[in-house]
Structure 1
Amino acid sequence: MPDLVPFTEVTSLFDDFEHTAWRLESRRSYDSDRQTEEYRAFFKGQPVEEDLTDPYYVARRQQADEGKRFERVRVVDQPPTEGQRYLLHRARFNIAAGEDIRHLTRTTAERIGLPEQDFWLFDSRVLIIMHFDESDRMLGVERTEDPARVVEACQIRDAAWHHAVRHADFHPGG
């Protein structure tokens, strides 16, 4: 396994990127989501709202206003897993903050050869590969600017983006 650092060591990239922050989300679930009260409330059928004045959302809106793009493609099973249903619900908050979120069915992702590896790509030059254990708990991240790995991530991004469907038009079925 590569040398991993805590995710907190790369969070400055979310403020410092110049043009694009792009994410591939391929996991069926995230332990960090399951640990939240919001997650539990959502599955109890309770109303779940987000404070869009939270600094995270304010920063995303400001970046969008500056012309920066914050994008992600989520791979979704058919039918969606519990974790994916939660993320489909949460997408509206990220979109309200200026993100462009698109989705791919897992069948399409497999057909076009996408990896089952979550990552962030900043300005097509910095790659943050996220590592998880079998319980969907993040172990840490690997940061690289290796040109070959960055180019590969750019190709993955381009293929995923080409085939992905905007959130508003996505109907996961099942």
Structure 2
Amino acid sequence: MQSSVPPFSELLANTRDSAVHLEMRDDYGTNPRLEAWQRGERVDWNDRESWWHPFHQTIADAVARDVSVRRARVVSEPVSEYIRWEHDATQGNLAAGEDVRWLPRSQVTGFLVPANDFWLFDGNLLRIHHFAGDGSHVRDELSTDAETLKLCASAFESIWQRATPHSEYKI
């Protein structure tokens, strides 16, 4: 494991073919956009300037270079309030060019999955996310360990194949 982790934007900028992201938590803590949603404020998806963030541009830039960006979310059902918000906010990911799928946790039994969320870049660099029990981000680490890369790639593909595309996943 490496200790110095470059920013996500730099890792994705150096990606040539694919970036996959596996999310498996039902809560990632709080943030201003979630809090606004909880107050009943909704995004005006027609007003791109109001919601388009540097993250979206980073994804769009990668997709424009023909990088495939896929995200799979494993969620408990019934879903948490955080996941309801995340489902609504996914419109921004899709607009940026990500392909997003959802898989109920009950359908993951029998899969070997890592305990941490991750991004896998070009199948050869893993950015592992560590979270506290309350969902707050603790730290990231990088790995190029061949066996870990293989395990994470396999876990992602198994989930992806069974997962429901965002447009069809109803909460």
Does TM, normalized by the shorter one, top 0.5? yes
1:35 aligns with 2:48: no
SS in 2 for 1:101: strand
Count of aligned pairs between the two proteins: 166
TM-score normalised by structure 2 residue count:
0.87
1:53 is displaced (CA, Å) by 4.7
Matches within 5 A, 1:2-17: 9-11=6-8, 12-17=10-15
1:63 is displaced (CA, Å) by 2.0
2: CA distance between counterparts of 1:105 and 1:55? 30
1:79 aligns with 2:74: no
- Say which is worse superposed, 38-47 or 15-24, in terms of deviation: 38-47
1:139 aligns with 2:135: no
Matches within 5 A, 1:8-157: 9-11=6-8, 12-31=10-29, 34-36=30-32, 38-49=33-44, 51=49, 53-157=52-156
- Say which is worse superposed, 130-139 or 47-56, in terms of deviation: 47-56
2: CA distance between counterparts of 1:61 and 1:18? 14
2: CA distance between counterparts of 1:57 and 1:16? 16
TM-score normalised by structure 1 residue count:
0.86
1:10 is displaced (CA, Å) by 3.8
Q: Which ranges in structure 2 are unaligned for 5 or more consecutive residues?
A: none
1:48 is displaced (CA, Å) by 2.2
* Counterpart AA for 1:140: R
Structural RMSD (CA): 1.9
SS in 2 for 1:110: coil
1:166 is displaced (CA, Å) by 0.5
2: CA distance between counterparts of 1:106 and 1:53? 30
* Counterpart AA for 2:62: Q
1:70 is displaced (CA, Å) by 1.0
